[in-house]
Chain A
């Protein structure tokens, strides 16, 4: 098992490298850099000025070298201006070129500097990720149990009235994207349009002090979308298991219906949805972007929108790296959990 995890970690590292390189290359395309020069420098720069701006700041070099610098495996660039002043990647405010380190990249903990927030990328990501984790945690707490209960109840007697009702509900919630359900929920429960002012329409205050009133709506909006999907998968899996021959064996052994569901069917039925639940994490990141913007909750998704909208390359890169790692780690957990649930799969 240890070896298996080690190998998976190796594959993860490789995937991370590939994916971040793609993001790096895309954000470092020439037109994007020119736009950067103009927003950072002066909107009316001439083409020559743009070129020299890019050169003095180390942008006008091959993408692979720049990527290496960003990673921290290639020495940072250094630009000796004709007037004798020196600029370098690793030169921080107030430090001299002699004491500056040679390498400064992700590996050295230097995530770069955000041009939008005027702050270190690592610091921004740390704070924002924490906020989003809080949101995600409550989404999971709400979504997973209710989805599983819904799915199991629907699937244990396929075609019954319970099944049809619950299936209709789950199809409706999956078919409604967050930007629709979010708006409807705000209109119904938080605005004066209906008048039920039970919850708050904005979650900004929940960043410091989350309570039921200001946090329930964003959590519900994300959870609803994922819930229908997981419930559908659980239902299908449960319905299939209930027709399996070993369920008939159990029935003809004289096991009661409740025990058939709880002891014989449940574990087998949960194998398939488990992977789906884990796959939901990356999907939830999607929803987070919309919901955080909608409810003005300044988390990870909101940061991503800000970075992308303002051409903040380093921040964007940082956000991508973290997203990739989140996705890959959930996959690893899903694989390990699968082995645990399904005794037929062995990794040794």
Chain B
């Protein structure tokens, strides 16, 4: 069925794709070229809207009714894809080119059993019998390291966890042993430790089956870990193409450089070496500038040259597989260190404002909402004890389901605590729901939400929404006073004053998040809970929003509780870090203490799981087995014992039977673990900077 072929698996040459709306033609991808050799993994990196997924769908020729390939060719194993008939195309899809998608839950059919969805592929393409296909499915499910394949084949997608679902999607893609695998942000919807195991799996399977891969991602670190070559895209064009080492270490395009300077690498520091945000916004497809698309945001922009006309890809001299779309790449001194922006002195940390003492939050979940039945208790937060000081950034880190959002809800008063105390300036607030809190308390404790797209009222102007917050907090005597305060708040978050009359839909994601921040600070909040405030934003915008939060904090001496799963950003901006797992605080300490050994075994795994976009970093690979246990049915003893790699070093069955006590390892550094002091001392760092001579 599949003919042997030894040229490049996929050759995309000057591909242009446009979408046609009633108003205009919107070019989504322009002059895009890339080659994928057999067994090679090519990363496609760029921010959302840059056209990387469109390239993938263009390869599959599945662009919907509005999309059309308007120029260039896509050759798969030397055959031009556009010359294929519908039947030939169907034969290639799923059989020779398979795809793995971003959201595993949505890409599996909810009403079909897993087995049926898997066996369909070879039955369709190879015409084998159902029993043969089933045997193949069992084999592949075992290959993607899922336990109990028989049971998995009989389940429906909703009965599996997110990580297991993504493994099934991968298994489905491998059922017919395709020559090319397209992965479209395969781990974006997953937790970091699950992401690490999926990445590991994809790499292993790629090696085992010799599959070529096109790996689409916005995460540079992930591409570094998985790919051999990389292609950076910006606004519909490839701007730089080359091997991982070429692009990461000797980049030849200003956008690539700016991208690397805006992500928090371990060497960045919020005071001494702050991130450099890329100024301006991503251009909309119909508002692209003349000449270089990155021109208006580029530090090296030269009027008359960069905006003169179409810019082709130039080969970098001496390296024919490295190319850049920049007219000035030969003139720019790429080794020059970034101009250090403002550096700041470290903020003075003040007195304790917020104190939590053995805070507990349990939910009772009835088996049946209407008639009761056996009640189950979900222990969302278990004995949380910590304090937060004025002008301090305390990061709360953990994967989904660890109880970090529940904690935020209890603090905000959206839920009341089951037990324990929350003291705000020495006053107990844990039992006061938000409806009965006084205006001062509400204004003092505010929140910045994860998704700026959903948290602004779509039918109210930006200014109105901020004024509404001011009214609720009782700021200002008259409408005019509140209006001028609102304008000041817009200045504070660095939005132009004209934005007051705009509707949220006219704003970009980063701008919306700025409005969210302005609203949180409307009543001079003293404690701001930032729940993943930048995770929904693009990389180049993240740095700017993070910077803004830091700056406001310095000026207002705000206490920032920064909830995140992204350890890179946590390391960059927080003073202290609290690591949570299944409702328990497993480690708490100064940032430097948490990021250096001795670690709690979970922190160690978490650190190892986070991909870092720096080739000079050596990382130990620790892959956690299985998924986070359900909070409905937590394991006995230590919550982490089911996945802990250090467990056997603890004598007896201590881990299975007893919840470890909180132990003081150093001044201000606490760990909840049974390991002995000697074992802790023997721990090695997970992340090491490779020295230049090594």
Interface residues, chain A, with chain B CB atoms under 8 Å away: 7, 11, 159, 244-246, 248-256, 263-264, 267-268, 271, 341-344
Cα separation A244 to B157 with both chains bound (whole Å): 15
Q: A271's closest neighbor in chain B, by CB?
A: B111
- In the complex, the answer to whether A7 meets B371 with C-beta atoms within 8 Å is yes
Q: B96's closest neighbor in chain A, by CB?
A: A254
The stretch among B120-128, B448-456, B489-497, B577-585 that forms the contact with chain A is B120-128
CB distance from A204 to the nearest CB of B (A): 46
Cα separation A230 to B322 with both chains bound (whole Å): 59
A253 interface neighbour in B94, B106, B111, B370, Cβ under 8 Å: B94
Is there a chain A Cβ closer than 8 Å to B95's Cβ?
yes
Shortest 4 CB-CB distances between A and B: which pairs? A253-B94, A254-B94, A245-B106, A254-B93
B172 interface neighbour in A11, A244, A253, A267, Cβ under 8 Å: A253
CB-defined contacts of B121 to chain A, threshold 8 Å: 253-254
Cα separation A303 to B111 with both chains bound (whole Å): 44
Cα separation A245 to B169 with both chains bound (whole Å): 12
CB-defined contacts of A263 to chain B, threshold 8 Å: 112, 120
Known: A254-B94, A341-B111, A342-B111. Contact between A245 and B120, CB under 8 A?
no
CB-defined contacts of A159 to chain B, threshold 8 Å: 65
Is there a chain A Cβ closer than 8 Å to B62's Cβ?
yes
- Could you tell me which residues of chain B, from 96 to 119, have a CB within 8 Å of some CB in chain A? 98-99, 101, 103, 106-112
- Could you tell me which residues of chain B, from 69 to 110, have a CB within 8 Å of some CB in chain A? 90-95, 98-99, 101, 103, 106-110
Known: A254-B93, A343-B158. Contact between A249 and B120, CB under 8 A?
no
Known: A252-B93, A254-B94. Contact between A245 and B103, CB under 8 A?
yes
- In the complex, the answer to whether B107 meets A249 with C-beta atoms within 8 Å is yes
Q: A269's closest neighbor in chain B, by CB?
A: B111
- Can you report 23 residue pairs joining A to B where beta carbons are below 8 Å apart? A159-B65, A245-B107, A246-B106, A246-B110, A248-B101, A249-B99, A249-B108, A249-B109, A249-B172, A251-B93, A252-B62, A253-B93, A253-B124, A253-B172, A254-B94, A254-B124, A255-B94, A255-B124, A263-B120, A264-B109, A342-B111, A343-B110, A344-B110
B111 interface neighbour in A249, A250, A251, A267, Cβ under 8 Å: A267
Cα separation A11 to B109 with both chains bound (whole Å): 34
Q: B89's closest neighbor in chain A, by CB?
A: A254
Given A253-B124, A264-B112: 8 more A-B contacts, CB < 8 Å: A244-B106, A246-B109, A249-B169, A250-B109, A252-B98, A253-B93, A254-B124, A264-B109
Is there a chain A Cβ closer than 8 Å to B60's Cβ?
yes
CB distance from A94 to the nearest CB of B (A): 49
Number of A-B contacts (CB under 8 A): 74
CB-defined contacts of B371 to chain A, threshold 8 Å: 7
- Could you tell me which residues of chain B, from 597 to 655, have a CB within 8 Å of some CB in chain A? none
CB-defined contacts of B106 to chain A, threshold 8 Å: 244-246
- In the complex, the answer to whether A254 meets B92 with C-beta atoms within 8 Å is yes
**Binary interface profile of B, 3-46, with partner A (CB < 8 Å = 1, else 0)?**
00000000000000000000000000000000000000000000
Cα separation A286 to B107 with both chains bound (whole Å): 42
CB-defined contacts of A271 to chain B, threshold 8 Å: 111
CB-defined contacts of B99 to chain A, threshold 8 Å: 249, 252
Is there a chain A Cβ closer than 8 Å to B156's Cβ?
yes
Interface residues, chain B, with chain A CB atoms under 8 Å away: 60, 62, 65, 90-95, 98-99, 101, 103, 106-112, 120-121, 124-125, 156, 158, 169, 172, 370-371
- In the complex, the answer to whether B111 meets A268 with C-beta atoms within 8 Å is yes
CB-defined contacts of B91 to chain A, threshold 8 Å: 254
CB distance from A339 to the nearest CB of B (A): 12
Cα separation A28 to B224 with both chains bound (whole Å): 82
CB-defined contacts of A251 to chain B, threshold 8 Å: 62, 93
Known: A7-B371, A254-B124, A256-B90. Contact between A246 and B158, CB under 8 A?
no
Cα separation A302 to B93 with both chains bound (whole Å): 60
- In the complex, the answer to whether B101 meets A254 with C-beta atoms within 8 Å is no
CB distance from B74 to the nearest CB of A (A): 15
Cα separation A256 to B103 with both chains bound (whole Å): 23
- In the complex, the answer to whether A252 meets B94 with C-beta atoms within 8 Å is yes
CB-defined contacts of B120 to chain A, threshold 8 Å: 253, 255, 263
Cα separation A248 to B65 with both chains bound (whole Å): 13
Known: A254-B92, A254-B94, A268-B110. Contact between A248 and B62, CB under 8 A?
yes
- In the complex, the answer to whether B101 meets A343 with C-beta atoms within 8 Å is no
Cα separation A292 to B349 with both chains bound (whole Å): 83
CB-defined contacts of B370 to chain A, threshold 8 Å: 7, 11
CB-defined contacts of A245 to chain B, threshold 8 Å: 101, 103, 106-107
CB-defined contacts of B110 to chain A, threshold 8 Å: 246, 268, 342-344
CB-defined contacts of B124 to chain A, threshold 8 Å: 253-255
- In the complex, the answer to whether B158 meets A268 with C-beta atoms within 8 Å is no
Cα separation A250 to B112 with both chains bound (whole Å): 12
Cα separation A83 to B94 with both chains bound (whole Å): 95
Cα separation A256 to B120 with both chains bound (whole Å): 12
CB distance from A293 to the nearest CB of B (A): 39
Q: A266's closest neighbor in chain B, by CB?
A: B111
Q: B159's closest neighbor in chain A, by CB?
A: A343
- In the complex, the answer to whether B125 meets A254 with C-beta atoms within 8 Å is yes
A246 interface neighbour in B60, B62, B107, B156, Cβ under 8 Å: B107
Known: A253-B172, A254-B124, A343-B158. Contact between A248 and B107, CB under 8 A?
yes
CB distance from A179 to the nearest CB of B (A): 39
Cα separation A246 to B107 with both chains bound (whole Å): 4
CB-defined contacts of B156 to chain A, threshold 8 Å: 343-344
Cα separation A254 to B120 with both chains bound (whole Å): 10
Q: B121's closest neighbor in chain A, by CB?
A: A253
CB distance from A270 to the nearest CB of B (A): 9
Q: B100's closest neighbor in chain A, by CB?
A: A249
CB-defined contacts of B103 to chain A, threshold 8 Å: 245
Q: A270's closest neighbor in chain B, by CB?
A: B111
CB-defined contacts of B94 to chain A, threshold 8 Å: 252-255
CB distance from A225 to the nearest CB of B (A): 30
CB distance from A58 to the nearest CB of B (A): 39
B108 interface neighbour in A246, A252, A267, A342, Cβ under 8 Å: A246
CB-defined contacts of A249 to chain B, threshold 8 Å: 99, 101, 107-109, 169, 172
CB distance from A199 to the nearest CB of B (A): 41
Cα separation A342 to B172 with both chains bound (whole Å): 23
CB distance from A11 to the nearest CB of B (A): 8
Q: B169's closest neighbor in chain A, by CB?
A: A249
CB distance from B659 to the nearest CB of A (A): 31
CB distance from A118 to the nearest CB of B (A): 45
Q: A249's closest neighbor in chain B, by CB?
A: B107
- Chain A CB within 10 A, most for which of B62, B109, B120, B125: B109
CB distance from A6 to the nearest CB of B (A): 10
CB distance from A272 to the nearest CB of B (A): 12
CB-defined contacts of A342 to chain B, threshold 8 Å: 110-111
CB-defined contacts of A253 to chain B, threshold 8 Å: 93-94, 98, 120-121, 124, 172
CB-defined contacts of A252 to chain B, threshold 8 Å: 60, 62, 93-94, 98-99
Q: B158's closest neighbor in chain A, by CB?
A: A344
Cα separation A212 to B97 with both chains bound (whole Å): 56
- In the complex, the answer to whether A268 meets B109 with C-beta atoms within 8 Å is yes
CB-defined contacts of B125 to chain A, threshold 8 Å: 254
CB distance from A12 to the nearest CB of B (A): 13
Cα separation A249 to B117 with both chains bound (whole Å): 10
Cα separation A341 to B111 with both chains bound (whole Å): 8
CB distance from A235 to the nearest CB of B (A): 18
Q: B90's closest neighbor in chain A, by CB?
A: A254
CB-defined contacts of B109 to chain A, threshold 8 Å: 246, 249-250, 264, 268
CB distance from B220 to the nearest CB of A (A): 26
